[in-house]
Amino acid sequence: MAGRGAKNTMPLGRRGEELAAACLERRGYRILARNYRRRFGEVDLVARHRGQLVFIEVKTRQSDRYGTPFEAVDRRKQHQLVLVATDYIARHHLENETARFDVVAVTRDRDGRIRVDVLEDAFHPDY
């Protein structure tokens, strides 16, 4: 049963990432990578914004029934994002770059309108 639910949300998640990327580009972000995957996780978008390297988690929801999109980026997910970001930085020789983590929430209201909210500098790694 869980498999069916996950399968049904995939198109919504991909659409959310497309909407998030378009919104971020309008705000001056330059997208460098999409769905950067490593064996220990994935980051949805990697971008450059205002001179910083930005690792972006996109959460798409049709309702807050299971919590807000921002709440879904818990400590475990944050840790995973930090691991993937560290790998990206090392592989691209960007150790001297300033980096941050943003979270983008893509939600649909009861009238079917899409809303995209960006939380810049959403969390800081616990080094």
pLDDT, mean of residues 77-103: 97
Determine the pLDDT at residue 9.
52
All structural domains of the chain with their residue ranges: 2-123
Would you place residue 5 in the very low, low, confident or very high pLDDT band (cuts 50, 70, 90)?
A: very low
The whole-number average pLDDT for the span 81-104 is 97
Given a contact cutoff of 8 angstroms between Cβ atoms, the answer to whether 52 and 97 are in contact is: yes
Task: Please determine, for residue 75, whether its predicted confidence score (pLDDT) is greater than 50.
Answer: yes
- Among 3.40.1350.10, 3.40.50.10490, 1.20.140.10, 3.40.50.1000, what is the CATH number of 2-123? 3.40.1350.10
**How would residue 10 be classed by pLDDT, with cut points 50, 70 and 90?**
low
Per-residue pLDDT tens over the stretch 17-26 = 999 999 999 9
